[in-house]
Structure 1
């Protein structure tokens, strides 16, 4: 079954002849796929009222009696957030089985039937509310209490969900997703066969809604706009006639993924997030793709096999030092020499500057040394070798030159009195620098290391530090690189073998 490349851009995302494999079959109507960082997929079978799990050992039932659960995702704590058709509720399920109702009524009336859900980086939960769950088979047939189908947000402390779009804008709002930087929210309408896009303001409210794509229908093929996701490059993927249609960020229809049955939803998964799992009527399918998903907050949660035990019991302050690497304008800021790499967007997505600043502030207050490591090139690059593309590119871009804006620290991470500054012109903070001299003088052997870029400077510094006998701790949300894929590859694999990978909050807690 060949996929359809309408433009060459599609071939960078999916091989036109990528095989579609049937992972499991014999179900009634599959929906709600979501990949857990521990390495398995959960998905719903709505009419059967079952939640199933797919992993290396096959497909098995994990829950019978789900209130006809449909769309589902994880929050940042890896609790399962589920849209329940039978109860007209959005609920949160902890790994231990506790069920919490997040939303069930609006203005005193029962919601229609929450259908699909997404979580923002701030922990705000957005969901659509068509009335499919009040129809036979897909829910429990009963009268509607609301006279419209809306899109809502749930925030901590809210007594009821907040309606975030005009109540009469959608006929049947269904799939929804954020752009990689969360500046846009996409919502599709199954009945209108279109996708609308909204700008998201600083308070998380959708504004300036307009049609992004329309006419998502085909009289000769089954399929409607339903499940929808963004990849990490900002392309929008949506179920449609014949499988999944893909749109570029500017709204151009660039290709179609062919699926043997009517596709309802999909999700990226696999160890490298390069397998697309598709829930399609009676089956679950998978196919290899070349692009990963938008980095959703829960994807940054660490797999259970890599727990943060080295910091959970607390850190001995007299042995700690904080290293902040390469947080310089050319590296991670818009207008910098490497801005075209995507580094500024990923830095914002990670909130790496803010998180590194939080660590620095706490360390200073506790008397823990703060060490800035900067990549600095003297004018003309004397003594700078050209033995690697990284160094060649730095010279060609005239980047990180001493005394220029590009070499200066980013706003918010300027050194303060008592901080150290170490200069380098290599990837590792150790190579040709006075870093170890500073650490020996301070008597520090436990290093909290963050900054840019995760898969280069941060990783190389952690490797060498581990070899030298230092305990390396990497708060991954205080690190960034060119995109989420490179970041995850380093965090989930290389860095696991040479450091304790954790989060900024966990480090702050361990510091006391």
Structure 2
């Protein structure tokens, strides 16, 4: 039995049918309105009954606003101002990063809006929002009489102005989630009571054409109704529904169902590559990895960390304005290193300590005659890597130990290269032996991760990428041995996969200085930031 249900074969192209839905936090009253900040890399979400807004990041969940005017749907505009639907005030509000706020809309034809519920921003700056009356009910809002006699969908023109009613006054019972298609020439709006989704053509003046039913009959035996809704980069519509989230093709055909343990109220994409789908589901916040990202909204292009999901662009390590780019290299004692001044966000970093095992770099090890122990001492690589690992742990940067481990007799290792033949001939790195053990000072600590491999690259045939994705890390700092083999292979493959690779060369070593220098000055310059331990420690401080 799969976790999720493919109604049509194409659903498996959007999400792995076995992909786990991870709980990120729980104990809330009813959470809603998730939105990902593309530069600061955190998720905001609301809790209407609790009258609180919370933030999730890699350090967990914390409150950021209480009371929160029973806020519901949220989004950002292109300037990264937060646009908030407030149930308690019947208002649509803009909150600026400096703390200032302003009311965008609160009345229509002299009467209070019902309670703005969900909101989207078009590329031209126009704001579209739904206005059911849930915010005038107890629990989810403040109980009070309605002034309007209908529930509508509105537009605020670019630059501001009075709300424009876009639909017939009595078309909707409770208009709720809304989203644009990728080309922004159609708007989708669902109705929680009617259990359907309508689609409207967007006219040249920004108003809406005649409605058409896009999907109907969104009902089932499990809890869930049409509420939050998003469009992915391919034009598929993801809508909350019985049992979790239902996905419709751009033609309106149901193609799959995402199962979630609790009733889902809303959803949004985020994460380093915009392929993490966050789900606010009753009392909990969940996340699931998808193979597709969102349609690119204006706010996703804002800030240094924004990136398109379909192109799998990733945000580069930040640098201070007017400082040299991390890619700029300056010679230091014969080694080309990145100029100082760049920053590495600790919440995006992971540290790899690779092949720092007795057989590889210690006297008495299987490869001691290669000169490896002597060069490791010259580099002070063990002490430097250990110092960096201690700093990483103190800053919440995960440490991943990658060990080359084989069984006695090296079964399953293909002898297709001299390196692997030498491994077998020397009887090296056999599980359970002193030679395979980590060197003193670089043992795995509580909270560290261990990945085993049997090839030069840390990626080949291992779970490394699974660990990095689970941790949400896209900047990978690589240390260990040997520079011109395992370190170089790992950096090259990581760059090909879209990760930002960082190599502090004084925490790496090989057989001799000549091979080490050739690797860091030439091969690694094109695939990684070549630097040193002190610079990495400085770059991750206070980011």
TM-score grouping bracket, smaller chain normalisation: 0.5 to 0.7
CA RMSD after TM alignment: 2.4
Q: TM-score, normalised by structure 1?
A: 0.60
Q: 1:172 to 1:58 in 2, by over 3 A?
A: same
After superposition, where does 1:304-319 map in structure 2 within 5 Å?
Answer: 306=318, 309-310=321-322
1:196-220 C-alpha deviation (Å, 9 max, x unpaired): 00111222211121000000011x2
d(CA) in 2 for partners of 1:173 and 1:136? 19
What is aligned with 2:265? 264
How many angstroms does 1:278 deviate by? 0.2
What is aligned with 1:229? 230
The runs of 5 or more residues in structure 1 that have no matched partner are 312-488, 499-512
What is aligned with 1:215? 217
How many angstroms does 1:156 deviate by? 4.3
d(CA) in 1 for partners of 2:291 and 2:298? 21
Q: Secondary structure at the match of 1:216?
A: coil
What is aligned with 1:35? 36
Q: Secondary structure at the match of 2:201?
A: strand
What is aligned with 2:152? 150
How many angstroms does 1:191 deviate by? 0.4
d(CA) in 2 for partners of 1:249 and 1:308? 42
Q: 1:307 to 1:110 in 2, by over 3 A?
A: farther
d(CA) in 2 for partners of 1:497 and 1:186? 43
Whether the 8 Å CA contact 1:112–1:144 is kept in 2: the answer is: yes
1:376-417 C-alpha deviation (Å, 9 max, x unpaired): xxxxxxxxxxxxxxxxxxxxxxxxxxxxxxxxxxxxxxxxxx
2:183 to 175, 181, 184: 181
Q: Is 1:164 the counterpart of 2:188 in the alignment?
A: no
When the two structures are aligned, how many residues end up with a matched partner? Answer: 320
Q: 1:250 to 1:108 in 2, by over 3 A?
A: same
After superposition, where does 1:111-510 map in structure 2 within 5 Å?
Answer: 111-156=113-158, 158-218=160-220, 220-303=221-304, 306=318, 309-310=321-322
d(CA) in 1 for partners of 2:526 and 2:210? 42
d(CA) in 2 for partners of 1:296 and 1:51? 23
Whether the 8 Å CA contact 2:229–2:266 is kept in 1: the answer is: yes
The runs of 5 or more residues in structure 2 that have no matched partner are 306-316, 324-497, 503-524, 530-543
d(CA) in 2 for partners of 1:156 and 1:204? 10
d(CA) in 2 for partners of 1:496 and 1:29? 46
Q: Secondary structure at the match of 1:115?
A: coil
d(CA) in 1 for partners of 2:129 and 2:223? 25
d(CA) in 1 for partners of 2:260 and 2:131? 26
Q: TM-score, normalised by structure 2?
A: 0.57
1:229-287 C-alpha deviation (Å, 9 max, x unpaired): 00000000000000000000000000000000000001111101111110000000011
How many angstroms does 1:309 deviate by? 3.4
Q: Secondary structure at the match of 2:12?
A: helix
What is aligned with 1:402? none
Whether the 8 Å CA contact 2:77–2:83 is kept in 1: the answer is: yes
Larger-gyration structure (1/2): 2
How many angstroms does 1:490 deviate by? 10
1:7-36 C-alpha deviation (Å, 9 max, x unpaired): 111000011110011000000000000010
1:82 to 81, 84, 94: 84
1:166-195 C-alpha deviation (Å, 9 max, x unpaired): 111111000000000101100000000000
Q: Is 1:57 the counterpart of 2:69 in the alignment?
A: no
Q: Is 1:108 the counterpart of 2:110 in the alignment?
A: yes
Q: 1:495 to 1:84 in 2, by over 3 A?
A: farther
Whether the 8 Å CA contact 2:124–2:158 is kept in 1: the answer is: no
d(CA) in 2 for partners of 1:158 and 1:99? 14
Q: 1:107 to 1:291 in 2, by over 3 A?
A: same
d(CA) in 2 for partners of 1:34 and 1:83? 13
What is aligned with 1:66? 68
Q: 1:217 to 1:39 in 2, by over 3 A?
A: same
d(CA) in 2 for partners of 1:262 and 1:123? 32
d(CA) in 2 for partners of 1:307 and 1:140? 46
Q: 1:497 to 1:186 in 2, by over 3 A?
A: farther
d(CA) in 2 for partners of 1:495 and 1:45? 47
Whether the 8 Å CA contact 1:306–1:496 is kept in 2: the answer is: no
Q: Secondary structure at the match of 2:144?
A: coil
How many angstroms does 1:158 deviate by? 4.6
d(CA) in 2 for partners of 1:241 and 1:122? 35
Q: 1:209 to 1:24 in 2, by over 3 A?
A: same
What is aligned with 1:396? none
What is aligned with 2:377? none
How many angstroms does 1:303 deviate by? 2.9
Whether the 8 Å CA contact 2:72–2:87 is kept in 1: the answer is: yes
